[in-house]
Chains A and B, each alone.
Chain A
Amino acid sequence: MFIQQLFNGIMLGSTYAMIAIAFTLLLGTLNMFNFAIGEVFMLGAIFGLTFVHMGLPLSVALPLAMICTGVACLVIERFSFKPLRNAPPLIPLVSTIGFSIFFQNVAVNIWGSERAQFPQWMEPINFHIGPVLISSTQLVILGFAVCLMVALDLFIQRTRLGRGMRAVAESLETATILGVDSRLIILMTFFGSGAIAGAGGILFGLSFSIVSPFMGMDPGIKGIASMIVGGMGNVRGAIVGGMFIGIIEVLSVAYIGSSARDFAVYGLVFLALLLRPQGILGVIQPEKERI
């Protein structure tokens, strides 16, 4: 039973992880807190569902939706990042809150506020691995999420562009001086952040059969919490944090009850902030001043 819940927690956690990655990519590389990621997540599911309703197979709809959400993030870059480069970090954050409100309202008006579902996309085969009951759909979803995250991690660690991202994360000016095409990196980071958030949205929609304009609100905040608990500024921290939050959430519902769910999650995040604000794998520390 426990291991089953653990597995469920990992399923949930992997979507939180993807949202957390989307947040942390921008925060770590560009010091930009994009509050609208939760809504971009939602748009991924909405776009995905729309493409599927238009007749496209899921294998096409998913990447297409990821491209769309990547573009949505580029729009955010254009209005919330580029013109506000020199403002204190609170300002772009507020701007992205504006985008959040905007996207959600547009989604409600165009798609309607009812919940929808992805139509069945494959014949689920349930099987047992030890005491755990897994359906093949879950496996595919999890596999896809894992592949995406591993690919991203490899990209950042091994490729030239990935190195560029890490350089920009250290210092934008130095990176530019050293010849890194910072404009490209910036656009790429925004696009990638949007794409992965969108992917998370579709996977969430497939896993939990929920697609609605409001589906991004709660996961968005849990994604921020995951990022902070896991350690801001690095992808692995986001993954660890996401899993942690997902598992906590599932376990608290399983063993205490659904009323305990938010208590457990937010209570734990609160404690984590007080006791270890830099998170599990933290890179960004709450600053100490130099005089």
Chain B
Amino acid sequence: MSSYQLDLFSSLGINILLALSVYCPMATGQLSIGNAGFMAIGAYVSAMLTVHVHLPLFPSLIIGGIAAAIIGVLFGFPALRLKGIFLAMATLCFGEIVRNFFMNFLQPLTGGAYGFRGIGDVPISISWIWGWVALSLVFFFFLSRSRLGLALMATHDDETVSELIGINIVFLKVAAFGVGAFIAGVAGGLYAHYYLYIEPEFFNVWESIFIALYVIMGGMLTYWGPVLGASIFTLLPEFLRFLQDWRGAFFGVVIIGLMIARPSGLVTREMLRIDFWIPYRKRRKP
């Protein structure tokens, strides 16, 4: 595999993780456009650990993820009161506050606005990234088939009724933020150790918005939606090289068109049932 293709597939893996990180809160009905902030936390914490404390990669990633998760949970509590655009705006503010934090503080450790160079000498192998992707997919697979997953679906569908049938929605919603933050934090750590350079500017609002787009366009109701959304958004530009500078405009048009043609996203829950794919005639009688 050429080094270019390697980079592409690494990007893909990281984007899938990021998409899954937004899928988590979204599964409980909370739209987050601040996950680049969690990614930044994971990236900077793990990078500081490997560079300054000489911790091995795996614990650094985990601690980076946990740091992000703690912040995520802390954020999740006040976020409970906010819905819709208010929540989205709060997550946006959060992301910007984190980005600004890393621009202005911890300069001696991280290089501040000038960026953090030399995170290790050698980029980590791509299998680190895809190992985590596989782990996450296994996690979501089991989650989707469990009672907890059912409780998440209920919370997403109708919060009020869910509470009234005994579901602790506070726990679910806050935990969803925390788990999402963890995944984003690990993705950030992986990013830092693959590209060996990070700067606060990378973790900006548009990054967060794109990640949310992967999920919304791919399909918000199942974990394969974000996977597909991230894949298309990461790989499609490669096939559109002939458009050169106009790729952005093309993407804009794709988004506009997709929302008209298929507003629920590309992957729906029905598609995960086997009988969706069997032609109508062949289905057994219910």
Contact = CB atoms under 8 A, between A and B. Distances in A.
Nearest to A89: B84
Nearest to B164: A291
A287 B83 contact: yes
Nearest to B204: A217
Contacts of B93: 225, 266-267, 269-270, 273
Interface in B67-118: 78, 81-86, 89-90, 92-94, 96-97, 99-101, 103-104
B217 A105 contact: no
Interface string A93-126: 0110111111111101100000000000000000
Contacts of B160: 289, 291
Contacts of A228: 85-86, 89
A273 to B, nearest CB: 5
B121 interface: no
B249 interface: yes
Interface stretch (A48-56, A78-86, A154-162, A169-177): A78-86
B248 interface: yes
Contacts of B227: none
Interface of A: 33, 79-80, 83-84, 87-92, 94-95, 97-106, 108-109, 217, 221, 224-225, 228, 259-260, 262-263, 266-267, 269-270, 273-274, 277, 286-287, 289, 291
B256 A80 contact: yes
Contacts of A104: 248
Nearest to A259: B104
A286 B260 CA distance: 28
Nearest to B245: A109
Given A267-B93, A270-B90, A98 B82 contact: no
A91 B263 contact: yes
Contacts of B100: 259, 262-263, 266
Contacts of A102: 248-249, 251-253, 256
Contacts of B206: 217
A80 to B, nearest CB: 7
23 contacts: A79-B260, A80-B256, A89-B84, A91-B263, A92-B259, A94-B217, A99-B256, A101-B251, A102-B249, A102-B253, A102-B256, A105-B252, A109-B245, A109-B246, A224-B89, A260-B104, A263-B101, A266-B96, A266-B97, A273-B93, A274-B78, A274-B82, A289-B160
B57 interface: no
Is the contact region of chain B dominated by helix, strand, or loop, or is it mixed? helix
Nearest to B159: A289
Contact of A98 (B92, B99, B255): B255
A274 B97 CA distance: 15
B103 A94 contact: no
Contact of A83 (B78, B104, B260): B260
B252 A273 contact: no
- Which 7 residue pairs spanning A and B have beta carbons closest together? A102-B252, A98-B255, A105-B248, A101-B252, A270-B93, A98-B256, A95-B259
Nearest to A271: B93
A33 B85 CA distance: 9
Contacts of B31: 90
A191 B216 CA distance: 28
A85 B173 CA distance: 29
B245 A98 contact: no
Nearest to B90: A273
Interface in B242-285: 245-249, 251-256, 259-260, 263
B255 A103 contact: no
Nearest to A264: B100
A52 B45 CA distance: 50
A89 B225 CA distance: 19
Interface in B212-247: 213, 216-217, 245-247
A269 B205 CA distance: 15
Nearest to B101: A263
Contacts of B51: none
B28 to A, nearest CB: 15
Contacts of B104: 259-260, 263
Contacts of A109: 245-246, 249
B12 to A, nearest CB: 20
A145 B10 CA distance: 49
A228 B82 CA distance: 13
Contact of B94 (A95, A270, A286): A270
B153 interface: no
A264 B256 CA distance: 34
B209 interface: yes
B31 to A, nearest CB: 7
Nearest to A86: B263
B74 to A, nearest CB: 12
A5 B103 CA distance: 25
A221 B216 contact: no
